[in-house]
Homo-oligomer: A and B are copies of this chain.
Amino acid sequence: MLRLSKMTDYGVVVMGRLASRPDERQSAADVAANTGLPPATVGQVLKALATGGLVSGTRGAQGGYLLSRRPEAISVAEIVVALDGPVAITACVEGADDPCSVEATCLLKGSWDAVNIAIEDALKQVTLADMLAPLFQFNPPPTELREATP
């Protein structure tokens, strides 16, 4: 089904919540309460985002998470990579660890790379700010995706 993991979906929601209060450190429990997502899972998502360098966590009392960059400077591709690992739509693209079982005899070795790069580009062109555009007006709507926003 060409599914993106639900974690990535949550990731964007969580980032959106953080972006809505740019100067306020919010704890994982706080974010969970305001988004309606399972608290423990939100914690895990924020941990992964922190590892990826998209948010910075502060421990201790009055601690919490903060966006490490402005929403316009964060692409959806980065969120996907932080939560789901590198984009590799099949086992036959260069980045994949588990090589395709029939790559020796396969006629199409490497043919998926073009598709993979195209998808990667599509994800890179959309920023977090673009996804929040209907709510806050950060910047003009994306240029490449005019068909999607009628």
Contact = CB atoms under 8 A, between A and B. Distances in A.
B13 A108 contact: yes
Lowest 5 A-B CB distances belong to which pairs?
A: A114-B148, A118-B122, A111-B131, A4-B89, A117-B148
Contact of A107 (B90, B113, B116, B135): B135
Number of copies: 2
Given A6-B91, A114-B126, 6 more contacts: A2-B84, A13-B106, A13-B107, A114-B148, A115-B123, A117-B148
Interface of A: 1-6, 8-9, 12-13, 16-17, 20, 35-37, 76, 80, 84-92, 100-102, 104-108, 110-119, 121-123, 125-126, 130-135, 142, 144-145, 147-149
B2 A107 contact: no
Contact of A1 (B86, B102, B106): B86
B9 A1 contact: no
Given A37-B102, A102-B37, A118 B134 contact: no
Contact of A144 (B113, B118, B123, B130): B118
Contacts of A2: 2, 4, 80, 84, 87-89, 119
A115 to B, nearest CB: 5
Contact of A105 (B4, B36, B125): B36
Contacts of A100: 9
